[in-house]
A and B are shown apart, each in its own frame.
Chain A
């Protein structure tokens, strides 16, 4: 029995559909990431879960209970806001205690719980500090502690790392997952950043133009994107249209494509699929030949672009052996497992 069930949610804004036919369910203790570019409707979906916004159609069930008609303050859902929305007239512990106060916890229990929560997020001793004295990362932790303190039945996080810098984000994303898992919290996490989603989520839902394109665990999502929109959003560049110009596609790739469903029109070659060919002629690998057009050293790997016939393909290559200079010929072996069919057709 799933904890949260969303059935056919619709939302319009000024006559235009903002979200259409969104359905999914979430088990207790799972973390779901809503991943999508800005304008995909992910924040609106989160706000409808919270009750701050009402759907135009569809239903949300929590356990057995329909949420329609339950105001936000009666849901006992927690929410972490993008700007944290910490109360500026209260100090740290007063902020964390607010939800407990609303649940009428006894004073002593309140401060005990708040202190525990602050310790959980690594802010021991910050109880009496003023908000202005905290850094962005520290505020983010206070917001997390505040939303966790009243033991919400569901925690909603709206781009909680959005306003932090890259290094801090990567670090805190992992930490948020550890904390959420240690508390056994069921959570919905909104982000536009795939690496953040991969780090935090048990399940990722890709939203695009108000539709849910795919719902899958991170690894599955990466290995097998459902369609071109998902693949593009994940940053994949080697999307080959089998219908447009078959002559331009390397024979080996075409041959492999022949083993897919006959309706397949699009093919994805993941960037880590290739390595510089050593034993030419091996049958288990797909071999392609081309000319180097770009070669960027990025530390852990080389980012290269290769012109194969009319196609231009990008790959991440191991730094050993070092790939040849731009303009040279190169032969690559592709791992067939990294060449996958995409559903549907090319659309923007």
Chain B
């Protein structure tokens, strides 16, 4: 009889408990709402109705929505690749002063909340945006010369803005990691530079490009806030349509059916992505050292690198700067009015809740989300890291499932599920916290898991032999080593909660809005004061998220490759 194996099995028994709480959470607040969506779609009147769903599925409006969603996502992906691939080449091959700064600046858009991005684009190119205002004021236009608002170009531009960094980072770091010897070997075997690119570099890059493109596609496919705010009523992707059917038209069976389509396509895309990244994970990164970066020397190189950087920084920074400027600029000149208005409950405001409440709400929700997501995440990732159980890959996949579900679908599921007994949370602020936690939870697990796995098992064994009890090991070995990862997870959860819009647009109650919801309300109302307050609140939200991101970049390890 082996003592250690007996001890291990009893330990494992207690480890199972680690998984139980997260699973109960997922069961109640993820699978149960999802199940209700299915039931609502297949049993609209409480009885099985195949005809209804077939009718909905084949109706031209549904097909049109699906087609438009795919089409705009594909076009956005294509445009993003065109802009970002030259950047990936620069990133992987050149060194120049300020490279790190450029890298950080170009990544900020990716972490901004969708509502902020949409507001920023309106601040720059919208009807009353900076460019149009200046054109009318200084160049004598009688009409705003740029009429992008409520056109497809507006949100395509925003999608490129959003996803540039994603392609840059995935493809760029993969490209930089390709052993330069492969190119040299091809060259010495007689391949010209063009042949080398075609036969060696491109085939090796394809998995990375494919993976990045698929991710961009997924993000654009589930894009909600940007399309809702920039596209206007003329454009409906699945997400926007679910929202309209549920919130504006109260056609819940229709919304449920659309949700199912959304869930199925999403799962399919995520599955393809997982399969692809597994395949591309081969060890062709040479000896782990990355290629030597060249300085930008020749005139041609200077022109190429310079023009790309100018273009990209222009594209990425202009909306953010315009947002800040616009938040201080009224028709009568520079002003703090919009910020002041945020802090004062004006009686004539359409807002019957003072805007400052939204800010406090958001912070409160974010702190609660952070705590809850961390507790669940620590518990789940401890199980996944320490368990020797065969089934843990399965549980890992289960835990990641919420990632593959759009926030709008979740929000919709919540309002049809958690508004009546046995779980009547409809009027409770918990609904928002639960939704945010569900969105943040997979990210927290993903930040913690590698860190827990990295702790060599021998450290714990050494501590045991030096006389530490399991509890002492947890506090003296595990926790100090995990602190950076816990911090990363916490910031992630906080930032996600601050910016979350899709689910919040369903579950926030009128009297307890969050910042993104408040911004959306401001934007939906006419008047300069509302517009200005949207700008001001977006600016605040942008600063908070960007700060959180910059803080993450400063942290050592995994974040920001060097």
Q: In the complex the two chains form, what is the Cα distance from A87 to B182 in whole Å? A: 7
* Residue numbers in B under 8 Å from A98 (CB-CB): 186, 189, 191, 199
Q: Given known contacts A83-B181, A85-B179, A85-B181, is B282 in contact with A132 (CB within 8 Å)? A: yes
Q: Given known contacts A83-B179, A83-B181, A87-B182, is B286 in contact with A78 (CB within 8 Å)? A: no
* A50 pairs with B188, CB closer than 8 A: yes
- In the complex, which of the residues A86, A89, A156 contacts B203, with contact meaning CB atoms closer than 8 Å? A89
| Dominant secondary structure of chain B at its interface with chain A | helix
Q: Is A146 among interface residues, defined by CB-CB distance under 8 A?
A: yes
* Residue numbers in A under 8 Å from B196 (CB-CB): 73
User: What per-residue 1/0 map shows which CB atoms of B165-203 lie under 8 Å from chain A?
Assistant: 000000000000001011011111111110110011001
* A52 pairs with B179, CB closer than 8 A: no
Q: Is B551 among interface residues, defined by CB-CB distance under 8 A?
A: no
Q: In the complex the two chains form, what is the Cα distance from A88 to B182 in whole Å? A: 9
* A99 pairs with B184, CB closer than 8 A: no
User: What per-residue 1/0 map shows which CB atoms of A130-162 lie under 8 Å from chain B?
Assistant: 001000000000000011001000001000000
* A150 pairs with B190, CB closer than 8 A: yes
Q: Given known contacts A85-B184, A89-B203, A132-B282, is B179 in contact with A99 (CB within 8 Å)? A: no
From 291 to 345 in chain A, residues with beta carbon under 8 angstroms from any chain B beta carbon are none
Q: Given known contacts A81-B184, A87-B200, A88-B284, is B190 in contact with A73 (CB within 8 Å)? A: yes
Closest to B181 in A: A85
* Residue numbers in A under 8 Å from B187 (CB-CB): 52, 71-73
From 89 to 119 in chain A, residues with beta carbon under 8 angstroms from any chain B beta carbon are 89, 98-99, 102-103
Q: Is B5 among interface residues, defined by CB-CB distance under 8 A?
A: no
Q: Given known contacts A72-B184, A88-B204, A102-B195, is B286 in contact with A83 (CB within 8 Å)? A: yes
Q: In the complex the two chains form, what is the Cα distance from A83 to B283 in whole Å? A: 12
Q: Given known contacts A73-B191, A73-B192, is B282 in contact with A88 (CB within 8 Å)? A: yes
* Residue numbers in B under 8 Å from A77 (CB-CB): 188
* B185 pairs with A85, CB closer than 8 A: yes
* Residue numbers in A under 8 Å from B283 (CB-CB): 88, 132
* Residue numbers in B under 8 Å from A81 (CB-CB): 181, 184-185
- In the complex, which of the residues A73, A85, A156 contacts B182, with contact meaning CB atoms closer than 8 Å? A85
Q: Interface range on chain A: under 10, 10 to 19, 20 to 34, or 35 or more?
A: 20 to 34
B181, B196, B284: most-surrounded residue (chain A CB, <10 A): B181
Q: Is A268 among interface residues, defined by CB-CB distance under 8 A?
A: no
Closest to A47 in B: B184
- In the complex, which of the residues A83, A89, A146, A156 contacts B189, with contact meaning CB atoms closer than 8 Å? A146
* B188 pairs with A79, CB closer than 8 A: yes
Closest to A99 in B: B189
Q: In the complex the two chains form, what is the Cα distance from A150 to B193 in whole Å? A: 18
* Residue numbers in A under 8 Å from B195 (CB-CB): 102
* A79 pairs with B182, CB closer than 8 A: no
Closest to A163 in B: B287
* Residue numbers in A under 8 Å from B286 (CB-CB): 83, 85
Q: In the complex the two chains form, what is the Cα distance from A282 to B455 in whole Å? A: 69
* Residue numbers in B under 8 Å from A74 (CB-CB): 190
Q: In the complex the two chains form, what is the Cα distance from A102 to B286 in whole Å? A: 23
Closest to B206 in A: A89
A50, A98, A150: most-surrounded residue (chain B CB, <10 A): A98
Q: Is A76 among interface residues, defined by CB-CB distance under 8 A?
A: yes
User: What per-residue 1/0 map shows which CB atoms of B251-291 lie under 8 Å from chain A?
Assistant: 00000000000000000000000000000001110110000
Closest to B188 in A: A79
Q: In the complex the two chains form, what is the Cα distance from A132 to B282 in whole Å? A: 9
- In the complex, which of the residues A89, A102, A156 contacts B204, with contact meaning CB atoms closer than 8 Å? A89
* Residue numbers in A under 8 Å from B203 (CB-CB): 89
Closest to A74 in B: B190
* Residue numbers in A under 8 Å from B192 (CB-CB): 73
Q: Is A7 among interface residues, defined by CB-CB distance under 8 A?
A: no
- In the complex, which of the residues B182, B189, B193, B287 contacts A102, with contact meaning CB atoms closer than 8 Å? B189
Q: In the complex the two chains form, what is the Cα distance from A52 to B188 in whole Å? A: 9
* Residue numbers in A under 8 Å from B287 (CB-CB): 83
Q: In the complex the two chains form, what is the Cα distance from A76 to B182 in whole Å? A: 17
Nearest CB of B to A71, in Å: 8
Nearest CB of A to B101, in Å: 24
Q: In the complex the two chains form, what is the Cα distance from A209 to B368 in whole Å? A: 63
* Residue numbers in B under 8 Å from A88 (CB-CB): 182, 204, 282-284
* B282 pairs with A52, CB closer than 8 A: no
Q: Given known contacts A83-B286, A88-B204, is B190 in contact with A102 (CB within 8 Å)? A: yes
Closest to A102 in B: B190
Nearest CB of A to B305, in Å: 22
Closest to B285 in A: A88
* B188 pairs with A78, CB closer than 8 A: yes
Q: Is A75 among interface residues, defined by CB-CB distance under 8 A?
A: yes
* Residue numbers in A under 8 Å from B181 (CB-CB): 81-83, 85
Q: In the complex the two chains form, what is the Cα distance from A87 to B179 in whole Å? A: 10
Q: In the complex the two chains form, what is the Cα distance from A81 to B183 in whole Å? A: 11
* B284 pairs with A102, CB closer than 8 A: no
* Residue numbers in A under 8 Å from B191 (CB-CB): 73, 98, 102
Q: In the complex the two chains form, what is the Cα distance from A85 to B193 in whole Å? A: 17
Q: Given known contacts A85-B184, A87-B182, is B282 in contact with A78 (CB within 8 Å)? A: no
User: What per-residue 1/0 map shows which CB atoms of A16-51 lie under 8 Å from chain B?
Assistant: 000000000000000000000000000000000010
Closest to A75 in B: B188
User: What per-residue 1/0 map shows which CB atoms of A209-244 lie under 8 Å from chain B?
Assistant: 000000000000000000000000000000000000
* Residue numbers in B under 8 Å from A76 (CB-CB): 190
User: What per-residue 1/0 map shows which CB atoms of A197-219 lie under 8 Å from chain B?
Assistant: 00000000000000000000000
Closest to A152 in B: B188
* Residue numbers in B under 8 Å from A85 (CB-CB): 179, 181-182, 184-185, 286
Nearest CB of A to B124, in Å: 43
- In the complex, which of the residues B184, B190, B284 contacts A52, with contact meaning CB atoms closer than 8 Å? B184
* A79 pairs with B190, CB closer than 8 A: no
Nearest CB of A to B104, in Å: 28
Closest to B192 in A: A73
Closest to B282 in A: A88
User: Which residues does A use to contact B, with CB under 8 Å?
Assistant: 50, 52, 71-79, 81-83, 85-89, 98-99, 102-103, 132, 146-147, 150, 156
Known: A50-B188, A147-B189. 16 other contacts (CB 8 A): A50-B184, A52-B187, A72-B188, A73-B186, A77-B188, A79-B184, A85-B181, A85-B182, A85-B286, A86-B185, A87-B200, A87-B204, A88-B283, A89-B284, A98-B186, A98-B191
What are 30 A-B pairs with beta-carbon distances under 8 A?
A72-B188, A73-B188, A73-B189, A73-B190, A73-B192, A73-B196, A74-B190, A78-B189, A81-B185, A83-B179, A83-B287, A85-B179, A85-B181, A87-B185, A87-B186, A87-B200, A88-B283, A88-B284, A89-B203, A89-B204, A98-B186, A98-B189, A98-B191, A98-B199, A99-B190, A102-B189, A132-B282, A147-B188, A150-B190, A156-B188
Q: Which 7 A-B pairs have the closest CB atoms?
A: A102-B190, A99-B189, A88-B284, A85-B181, A85-B185, A79-B188, A72-B187
